[in-house]
Amino acid sequence: MEKLKVIEGLAALAQETRLDIMRFLVRHGGEGVSAGRIGAEFELASATLAFHLNSLAAAGLVSRQRDGRQQLYRANIAAVHLLTAYLLENCCTENCCSETDAPSATDAA
């Protein structure tokens, strides 16, 4: 993955609402979630929701598909994997470490 693409992805996720939306979409996998349902989940006005979804889509982290009158949004799981792989590609190349050295997601909170 190119460094500029990584920066775009991280920048899109570096905002609380977008990070929450992304995690929500990741939980729903490939089924897709309507914009209305996302807006209701996070109590967002449609213009605010569109702004956040457009930011995630521009970074390649979310895809959208028209389904009748609705827009369905899906997390681009492949892009998420590429982003994390980029961050970890040189893990422990200079020092020995193990997965037990890494904090879990709940430890980091």
First to last CA, the chain: 27
Count of residues for the chain? Answer: 109
CATH number of 3-87: 1.10.10.10
What are the extents of the domains in the chain?
3-87
Q: Quick one: pLDDT at residue 1?
A: 75
Percentage of the chain lying above the pLDDT 70 cut: 88
Q: How far is CA 70 from the centre of its chain?
A: 21
pLDDT at residue 84 greater than cutoff 90: yes
- The pTM (predicted TM-score) of the whole model is 0.83
pLDDT at residue 80 greater than cutoff 70: yes
pLDDT at residue 89 greater than cutoff 80: yes
pLDDT by residue (tens digit) across 30-71?
889 999 999 999 999 999 999 999 999 999 999 999 988 889
CB crowding 18-40: b at 16 or more within 10 Å, else e: beebbebbeeeeeebbebeebbe
Ranges 3-12, 13-22, 66-75, 88-97: which has the least confidence? 88-97
